[in-house]
Amino acid sequence: MLRGGWGRIVNVSSEAGRFDRINAVATAYRVSKAALNAYTKSLAAELHLKGVLVNAVCPGWVASDMGGPEASRSLEQGAESIFWAIALDDDGPTGGFFQDGKPLSW
C-alpha cells in the first residue's frame, strides 16, 4: 500500500468497545475492541499523508455463529459497512469509527 500510495485498512470493531458502553460484561472483548479503535486512530494518523485510509467499522449484531440466530442483522447487512469503508474515495474519512457509513462515538 505504501509503495503504491493507495490503500484501505478496515478494522472490524464493535460498539461494545465504545467508552460509554464499557461495563463488566464480556470485559476482554470490550477492552480488545476499545484497543482496536485506538490502534485505528493511531495508524490513521501515521498513514494519513501516504494515501492509505484507516477506519474501524461496526457491522452490528449479525446473525452468525457469534451473534446467534436472534441477531437483528443479516451477514449481508453487516458486510455493507465493511464494503463502504473499502470503497471510500481518496478524500474520504480516516481514523474514524463507523456503522452504515455514519460515524459512531468512541
Q: Which pLDDT score, from 0 to 100, does residue 72 have?
A: 93
pTM metric for this prediction? 0.92
Mean pLDDT by 10 residues, the chain (106 residues): 96 90 86 96 96 96 89 93 97 97 93
Q: Where are the alpha helices (DSSP H) in 1-106?
A: 27-47, 75-86
In the chain, the domains with their CATH numbers are 7-103 (3.40.50.720)
Pick the catalytic residue: 6, 29, 31, 103?
29
Per-residue pLDDT at 20? 83
Instruction: From 41, 6, 13, select the one nearest 98 (Cα to Cα).
Output: 13
**Measured between alpha carbons, how far is 8 from 67 in angstroms, rounded to an integer?**
26
CA dist., res. 99 & res. 93, Å (int): 13
Is residue 29 flagged as an active site residue? Answer: yes
